[in-house]
């Protein structure tokens, strides 16, 4: 979902988020994550921890060092890869605040979580 950064003062993240896309567990190996990204054509994967809570957002740039497909990629879980981690957006957060936070962190997409930390959406500008 692509939107402009011009929003009214009452527009929230919940108004602009899209449903969560591809999600993987943090114990998935890097080579599998690479395969999922390549076969799906997606730019990122949402990563969940063992409790189903959002652990972060993994993108192609994070996986670039593993493109050579050495034995290391077959034995490295995505939890050990540097990826975009918390804090995450919340559904009631003002859209302008979220946009500013995303610019400051150079994020193209940001997971939206509920009060328990489970992913409920994805915000993209």
Per-residue pLDDT tens digits for 23-36: 999 999 999 999 99
Q: Which helix (H) or strand (E) holds 34?
A: helix 30-40
What average pLDDT does the chain have? 89
* Average pLDDT value for residue range 43-62: 94
Pair 46, 21: CB distance under 8 Å: yes
Sheet holding 119-124, edge to edge: 89-90, 109-113, 119-124
Bridge partners for 89 per DSSP: 112
CA distances from 30 to 24, 35, 50, 125 (A): 11, 9, 17, 27
């Amino acid at each position: 979902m692509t939107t402009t950064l011009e929003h009214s003062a009452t527009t929230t993240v919940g108004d602009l988020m899209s449903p969560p896309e591809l999600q993987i567990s943090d114990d998935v190996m890097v080579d599998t994550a690479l395969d999922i990204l390549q076969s799906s054509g997606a730019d990122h994967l949402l990563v969940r921890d063992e409790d189903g809570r959002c652990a972060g957002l993994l993108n192609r740039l994070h996986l670039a060092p593993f493109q050579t497909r050495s034995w290391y990629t077959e034995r490295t879980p995505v939890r050990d890869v540097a990826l975009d981690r918390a804090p995450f957006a919340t559904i009631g957060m003002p859209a302008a605040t979220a946009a500013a936070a995303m610019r400051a962190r150079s994020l193209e997409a940001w997971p939206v979580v509920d009060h328990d930390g489970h992913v409920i959406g994805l915000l993209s500008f």
